[in-house]
Amino acid sequence: MKTACLAAILLVIGGCAVPDPYAVVSCPTVGVLNDAREITRFRHGGGRDAADVTWHGEISTVKFTCYEPEGKGVVIGEAAIVATFHRGPAATDDRQFFNMFSVISEREDRILDKTVFSMDAKFKSGQKVVTATKTIRNIRVPTKGSVAPELYNVYIGFQLSPAEVAYNRTKARS
């Protein structure tokens, strides 16, 4: 009898809960652009072989979560980006900043927004490899009318120069 009364009270209390102002929604499709997944930097004036590498970075994972504030017409996302950085034989310091980007596009790949941010790779003396995490908050994906959030894309990558893109494409073909 006591158990039944307790269950009834919990049901009544649960029914009186304040609604969550953030609805759980499906997220946009998230991915890392293949051409921008890695970055390799070489010493100035040097060649392009292994002895000339100062830094190499690669995006390992991207975890994306999102929510939709009630009635706002936007999904707000957060991306946790994990990258691994290697200090090359030609590196002369223990810290390097890497510019990265997030792009929001519609399914037909029309770009709606691009944000550039920096990721910091700090190496202790003698350390050759580090893993770093960068969290990007407040990624705003519009939800026009009946367009579902999963019909948008969020792409992540390193902000590369044309020469760095060409290097990545050449490396991918070999």
pTM for this predicted structure = 0.81
Phi, psi (deg, nearest 5) at residue 127: -75, 135
92-148 per-position pLDDT tens digit: 999 999 999 999 998 777 899 999 999 999 999 889 999 999 999 999 888 776 667
Give whole-number Cα distances, 78 to 20, 64, 81, 82, 96, in Å.
19, 6, 10, 13, 24
Taking the C-alpha atoms of residue 131 and residue 120, their distance in angstroms, rounded to an integer, is 10
Taking the C-alpha atoms of residue 43 and residue 49, their distance in angstroms, rounded to an integer, is 10
Taking the C-alpha atoms of residue 132 and residue 55, their distance in angstroms, rounded to an integer, is 14
Residue with tokens 């390193």: 158
Q: What percent of the chain has pLDDT over 70?
A: 83
pLDDT given for residue 145 in this prediction: 65
